[in-house]
């Protein structure tokens, strides 16, 4: 899963932290191999045209197609540089989101008032998860898959549950 708890949600440590990041199914080496493979395969139909004027007519379109694939994959890598860090302490909940361009958004709330909510429909994605508190509602994990958001919702609910008086 593209998220990791520093301690289990029911851990004994006073601070629990959660790191979230988008899933990368194509590593950088795979990216280079894919673009090279695409270039190689797209040039195969051009071999019989070597030495003809038709080659020069088709070549720009073939190169534009490879360039478009490279640009789209590179754009995907840039937009996936988002990370989210959630720290749950005994008194406070703090969420920090670092966006792809490097700007940082933060949200703080008293742990007692913090609530996690799942919106099965109506959000930008199905089973949209938000944290609510301090008169503000913020999203968390919108870049995760639907199944990952469902699992995260249960784990966040457990982590934000107040410790029982008997556990002390």
pLDDT digit string (tens) for 58-73?
999 999 999 999 999 9
Sheet holding 83-88, edge to edge: 3-5, 16-20, 83-88, 92-98, 104-110
Q: How confident is the model at residue 77 (pLDDT cuts 50, 70, 90)?
A: confident
| Model pLDDT, residue 163 | 66
pLDDT digits (tens, 9 = 90+) for 85-132: 999 998 999 999 999 999 999 999 999 999 999 998 877 888 899 999
The single-letter DSSP state of residue 52 is S
Q: What percent of the chain has pLDDT over 90?
A: 62
Is the confidence at residue 165, as pLDDT, over 80? no
Is the confidence at residue 18, as pLDDT, over 70? yes
Q: How confident is the model at residue 6 (pLDDT cuts 50, 70, 90)?
A: confident
| Model pLDDT, residue 147 | 92
C-alpha span between 89 and 106 (Å, rounded): 16
Kindly state the average pLDDT of the residues 14-19: 88
Q: Tell me the pLDDT of the chain averaged across its residues.
A: 89
- In sequence order, which ranges of the chain are alpha helices (DSSP H)? 28-43, 53-79, 146-160
At residue 8, the 3 state secondary structure works out as coil
| Model pLDDT, residue 15 | 85
Is the confidence at residue 10, as pLDDT, over 70? no
Is the pTM higher than 0.85? The answer reads: no
| Model pLDDT, residue 166 | 57
């Amino acid at each position: 899963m593209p998220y990791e708890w520093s301690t289990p949600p029911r851990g004994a440590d006073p601070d629990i932290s959660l790191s979230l990041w988008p899933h990368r199914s194509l590593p950088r080496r795979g990216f280079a191999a894919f673009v090279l493979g695409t270039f190689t395969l797209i040039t195969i139909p051009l071999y019989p045209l070597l030495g003809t004027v038709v080659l020069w007519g088709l070549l720009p379109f073939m190169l534009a197609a490879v360039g478009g694939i490279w640009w789209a994959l590179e754009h995907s890598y840039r937009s996936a540089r988002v990370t989210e860090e959630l720290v749950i302490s005994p008194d406070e909940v703090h969420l920090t989101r670092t966006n792809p361009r490097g700007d940082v958004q933060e949200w703080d709330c008293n742990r007692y008032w913090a609530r996690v909510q799942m919106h099965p429909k109506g959000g930008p994605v199905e089973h949209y998860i938000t944290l609510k508190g301090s008169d503000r509602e913020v999203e968390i994990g919108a870049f995760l898959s639907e199944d990952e958001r469902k699992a995260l919702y249960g784990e966040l609910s457990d982590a934000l549950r107040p410790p029982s008086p008997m556990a002390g």
